Amino acid sequence: MDQRDRDLTTAQGLRRALVATGVAGSLGFAALAAASTGTTGSISGAAAGRGSGVPARVGATGSGAGLLPRLTGDDGRQEHGDDDGSPARPLRVRHQRPPAAVLPGPGLLPGSGPAQATTSGS
Amino acid sequence: MTGTTTGPASREWPLWSTFARLVVTDEAAMTSALAVVEEYLRRVDDAANRFCPDSEISRLHAGGTELGPVLRDLLEQALWAAEFTDGDVDPTVGGSLERLGYDRDIELVLDEGAPVRAVVHVLPRWGSVILRGSRMWCPAGVRLDLGATAKAVAADQAAALVAESTGSGVLVGLGGDIATAGPAPEGGWQVRVQDAPDDPPTQVALPEGAAIATSSTVSRTWRHGGRRLHHILDPRTGEPAPTFWRSVTVAAPTCLQANAVSTACIVRGDRAVDWVERLRLPARFLRYDGHVLTTGTWPSDEPAEAPR
């Protein structure tokens, strides 16, 4: 695995690759999910906002847990893995309804062992 | 779903002048989880960052009325928090924050701005904001600030997205706002509770799906007009809430609820404890003299270990 491939194993690296190749559109949730489940998905989109303005196309296929979406540049050049050419699906973030009421709080226990996170004011 | 469970993994990175933290119980899910969280948080930033002129909320301030789905959700949840807290947490305080000098990222806010001019004005309130589907109307000049609730909503949503897409247990922490989803590690999610470095720390174990949030009058402070200010405003006065509590931490079924209650507790001051008792939420109140009060099932303070 060369440095570029290693970069693609992190989300930051993935984003850098997207920007570098002009593929600055949105990565689809379905594509990301597909990458982790070993199923196949594909996303197409247009770069917008802070992106490069270059139309984007991102295909995703995973063949096992934790594998990354395949990236294809706007010129069709394969950047990582193969492109399956399946139809576009948008990022789907489910509408979050406000709670009807606040339920009684969870039962907390005293902590023990190393903390996994810290809550502090921000 | 990932096929093999390989153990926990965590990532932390700077975000919104604080830190984002992602923990998954299944290490193999980390790559996908991180990509989902980063992508979703980018959308939240594009929608609600009032310091970015290209953001959707900035376009609303310039006269737009149409909201995308992410901003609509964030505003809907903010209005819920306003109603639930009887207006103690109000998304229309953006103008007051700007008047007090908090008009850019907190790291860029000058530590000694110009004196605040005393101007008699009518403060907007959350009830003046009308949200119908994907459209919003409010009086001209109202500046929205979703900072009080947006991180909490984002933590809830990001955790849910990761659990749904990977099947892994997940913790998403955005500053003081922590949401969990999916199966918890054995013994629960271990969360250290400490605001300032010299505050007395404690640690609690959150059960599966629980959330926790801290609000503070010590963090996110700046000097303006010769005064030391903090970022939690009393919407009725447009001024920082009286500093009765150093910090308040609340656990609840969702991070939005935990955050709304902890923020409202700062505003309510000494009236907060009875309110939280009635809500039957576990909470920890830290006074300026170091005294700690707890409610509900909050365990007695124990020494805490730092996250690794």
Could you report the per-residue pLDDT of A4-14, keeping only the tens digit for each? 444 444 444 44
CB contact under 8 A, A118 and B31: no
Give, in order, the Cα–Cα distances in Å from B54 to each of A48, A50, B51, B152, B209: 11, 8, 9, 23, 34
Within a domain: residue B182? yes
Among residues B306, B284, B175, the alpha carbon closest in space to that of A108 is found at B284
Interface check for B249 against chain A (CB to CB < 8 A): the answer is: yes
pLDDT in tens, B138-171: 888 888 889 889 999 999 999 999 999 999 999 9
Q: B258 - beta bridge partners?
A: none
Chain A residues within an 8 Å CB radius of B174 = 122
Q: What is the spatial distance between Cα B74 and Cα B44, in angstroms, rounded to a whole number?
A: 8
Does residue B241 fall inside a structural domain?
A: yes
Partner-chain contact B297 A112, CB within 8 Å = no
Q: Do A118 and B306 touch (CB under 8 A)?
A: yes
Distance CA B213, CA B3 (A): 32
CA pair distance B126, B107, nearest whole angstrom: 28
Q: How far is CA A87 from CA A60, A67, A80, A83, B64, in A?
A: 11, 20, 19, 11, 33
Q: Is A98–B17 a contact, with Cβ atoms under 8 angstroms apart?
A: no
Contact B94, B129 (CB under 8 A): no
Say what the pLDDT of residue B41 is.
Answer: 96
Find out whether A108 and A99 touch, Cβ atoms under 8 Å.
no
B277 falls within a domain: yes
Buried b (16+ CB within 10 A) or exposed e, B154-176: bbbbbbbbbbebbbbbbbbbbbb
- Contact status of B296 with chain A (Cβ, < 8 Å): yes
**How many other CB atoms are found less than 10 A from the CB of residue A6?**
10
**Mean pLDDT score of chain B, rounded to an integer?**
87
Q: What is the pLDDT of residue B117?
A: 55
Q: Do B302 and A110 touch (CB under 8 A)?
A: yes
Domain residue ranges of chain A, discontinuous segments joined by +: 3-80
Exposed, middle or buried: residue B121 (CB in 10 Å: 0-12, 13-18, 19+)? exposed
Tell me whether residues B308 and A114 touch, CB distance under 8 A. yes
Closest residue to B307, CB basis, from A66, A102, A114: A114
The nearest alpha carbon in chain A to B76 belongs to A98
Residue-wise pLDDT for A22-33, tens only, equals: 333 333 333 333
The one-letter amino acid code at B87 reads G
pLDDT digits (tens, 9 = 90+) for B35-65: 999 999 999 999 999 888 889 998 888 887 8
ipTM for the predicted complex: 0.84
How many whole angstroms separate alpha carbon B155 and alpha carbon A69?
A: 24
For B72, the domain range is 9-295
Look at B2 and A37 and tell me if their CB atoms are within 8 Å: yes
pLDDT for A5? 42
The three-point CA angle A68-A74-A79 to 5° equals 35
Query: In A, which residues are within 8 Å of B20 by CB distance?
Result: none
Chain B residues 171-200 with CB within 8 Å of chain A: 171, 173-178, 185, 187-196
Regions in chain B scoring below 50 on pLDDT: 1-3
Side chain identity, residue B65: T
* Sole residue written with tokens 């850019």: B104
Q: How far apart are CA A91 and CA B161, in angstroms?
A: 11
The number of domains in chain B is 1
CA-nearest residue of chain B to A14? B35
Question: What 8-state DSSP symbol labels residue A58?
Answer: E
pLDDT in tens, A44-97: 333 333 333 333 333 333 333 333 333 333 333 333 333 344 444 445 777 777
Cβ of B46 and A33 within 8 Å?
A: no
Beta partners for B24? B9, B170
> For A103, which residue in chain B has the nearest alpha carbon?
B253
* Beta carbons of A66 and B205 less than 8 Å apart: no
pLDDT at residue A34, as a whole number: 36
Nearest CA in chain B to A29: B36
Single-letter code of the amino acid located at A55: P
> Under 8 Å CB-to-CB from A73, ≥6 apart: which residues?
A21, A22, A23, A79
Specify the pLDDT at position A62. Answer: 31
For residue B65, the domain's CATH number is 3.10.520.10
Nearest residue to B54 via CA among A50, A41, A79 = A50
Confidence (pTM)? 0.73
Does pLDDT of A98 surpass 90? no
CB B217 within 8 A of CB A119: no
For chain A, the first-to-last Cα distance in angstroms comes to 39
Residue B136: strand pairing partners: B131
Counting every residue written for chain A, the total comes to 122
Q: Which helix (H) or strand (E) holds B176?
A: none
Cα A62 to chain center, whole Å? Answer: 13
